[in-house]
């Protein structure tokens, strides 16, 4: 569909978005129904008796944009009510993994477990933000969603004394993208975890602090998350990276494995 024009503003678009309601094609700026005066959505005044809870989410978000303070307008511009709900549940699961270390055989005290929960949560959020904003950079729709297998793996990590993987869901994307774009979007998440693991490992090895156990666990968990997500199978990031560029996959996977090994040694 290269060379199509946005049917609202006339802008030339290489990767246009098709509106699921009216079937027309638009640029990234006008892809949402409320931004191109979509004729495929039947709108009407609220006093016709339609309960607000049954309105389409796009219409609810449009109403919130109009009447909410500036912060909420910004929030709904970059996210949605559904994504925020999924992220909230994901964060709670990830924090449980951090707190679970206080009940494990390594005997992390409760304050340390709290700091670990914060590090795990930050690692999880940054991983997903990496996917989301890389996808948006390429003009794609992208939102976080919980997955059943991700929830199960994270819950297992809550009770496992050794394996700690924080991956309750994934960013799903929509739109037309090249193989290279999809590979780079998939790579952005594990690269963030690899970077965090290196940073925390360096701090652990160079600083003489009472937080060493927190830095150590933060580093190894990020390394575990990177290795897990780089497995070239199914829905995992590694499958998309391998499909795009095998050499990039090999380098990133070996980096993550090396970090796991170094963390286990030190």
Mean pLDDT, rounded, of the chain: 82
Are residue 20 and residue 134 in the same domain, yes or no? no
**pLDDT above 70: percentage of residues in the chain:** 82
Confidence of residue 41 (pLDDT cuts 50, 70, 90): low
- What is the number of domains present in the chain? 2
Structural domain ending residue among the three candidates 74, 108, 131:
74
Are residue 150 and residue 231 in the same domain, yes or no? yes
Contact criterion met (CB below 8 Å) for 120 and 95: yes
pLDDT at 40 over 50: yes
Residue 146 sits at φ, ψ, to 5 deg, of -65, 150
Are residue 207 and residue 241 in the same domain, yes or no? yes
Residue 185 belongs to domain spanning: 79-265
Find the radius of gyration of the CA atoms of the chain: 21
Are residue 69 and residue 147 in the same domain, yes or no? no
Are residue 141 and residue 245 in the same domain, yes or no? yes
Is the whole-model pTM more than 0.75?
A: no
| pLDDT tens per residue, range 158-216 | 888 777 888 899 999 888 889 999 999 999 999 999 999 999 999 999 988 888 888 99
Are residue 138 and residue 36 in the same domain, yes or no? no
Are residue 93 and residue 62 in the same domain, yes or no? no
In this structure, what token pair is assigned to residue 233? 């199978």
111-135 b/e (C-beta count within 10 Å ≥ 16 → b): ebbebbbebbbebbbebbebbbebb
Spatial CB neighbours of 257, under 8 Å, sequence gap ≥ 6: 227
Are residue 86 and residue 200 in the same domain, yes or no? yes
Residue 14's CATH number: 4.10.1110
Q: Which residues pair with 174 in a beta bridge?
A: 141
Structural domain ending residue among the three candidates 74, 101, 122:
74
Q: What would the mean pLDDT of 8-32 be, rounded to a whole number? A: 81
**pLDDT above 90: percentage of residues in the chain:** 44
Q: Which residues pair with 142 in a beta bridge?
A: 173
Are residue 137 and residue 214 in the same domain, yes or no? yes
Name the 3-class secondary structure at 2: coil
Distance CA 19, CA 32 (A): 7
Distance CA 94, CA 200 (A): 18
Are residue 158 and residue 183 in the same domain, yes or no? yes
Structural domain ending residue among the three candidates 16, 51, 74:
74
Q: Which residues pair with 4 in a beta bridge?
A: 13
Distance CA 49, CA 55 (A): 11
| pLDDT tens per residue, range 89-136 | 999 999 998 888 777 656 667 888 888 899 999 999 999 999 999 999
Are residue 119 and residue 14 in the same domain, yes or no? no
pLDDT at 73 over 70: no
Q: Which residue has the tokens 């701090």?
A: 203
Are residue 170 and residue 256 in the same domain, yes or no? yes
| pLDDT tens per residue, range 247-256 | 999 999 999 9
Distance CA 36, CA 29 (A): 9
Per DSSP, 162 falls in state: S
Confidence of residue 219 (pLDDT cuts 50, 70, 90): very high
């Amino acid at each position: 569909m290269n060379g199509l024009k946005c049917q609202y503003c006339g802008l030339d678009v290489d990767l246009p978005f098709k509106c699921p309601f009216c079937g027309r094609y638009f640029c990234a700026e006008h892809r949402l129904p409320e931004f191109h005066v979509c004729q495929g959505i039947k709108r009407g005044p609220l006093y016709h008796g339609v309960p607000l809870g049954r309105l389409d989410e796009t219409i609810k978000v449009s109403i919130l944009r109009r009447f909410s303070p500036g912060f909420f307008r910004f929030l709904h511009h970059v996210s949605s009510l559904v994504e925020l709900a999924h992220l909230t549940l994901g964060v709670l699961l990830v924090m449980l993994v951090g707190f679970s270390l206080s009940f494990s055989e390594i005997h992390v005290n409760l304050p340390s477990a709290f700091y670990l929960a914060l590090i795990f949560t930050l690692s999880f959020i940054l991983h997903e933000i990496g996917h989301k904003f890389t996808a948006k950079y390429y003009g794609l729709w992208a939102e976080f969603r919980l997955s059943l297998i991700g929830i199960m793996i994270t819950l297992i990590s809550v009770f496992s004394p050794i394996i700690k993987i924080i991956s309750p869901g994934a960013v799903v994307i929509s739109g037309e993208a090249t193989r290279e774009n999809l590979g780079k979007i998939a790579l952005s998440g594990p690269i963030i975890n690899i970077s965090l693991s290196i940073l925390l490992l360096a701090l652990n090895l160079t600083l003489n602090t009472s937080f060493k156990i927190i830095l150590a666990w933060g580093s190894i968990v990020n390394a575990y998350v990177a290795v897990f997500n780089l497995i070239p199978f199914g829905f995992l990031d590694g499958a998309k990276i391998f499909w795009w560029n095998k050499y990039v996959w090999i380098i990133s996977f070996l980096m993550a494995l090396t970090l796991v090994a170094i963390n286990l040694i030190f």
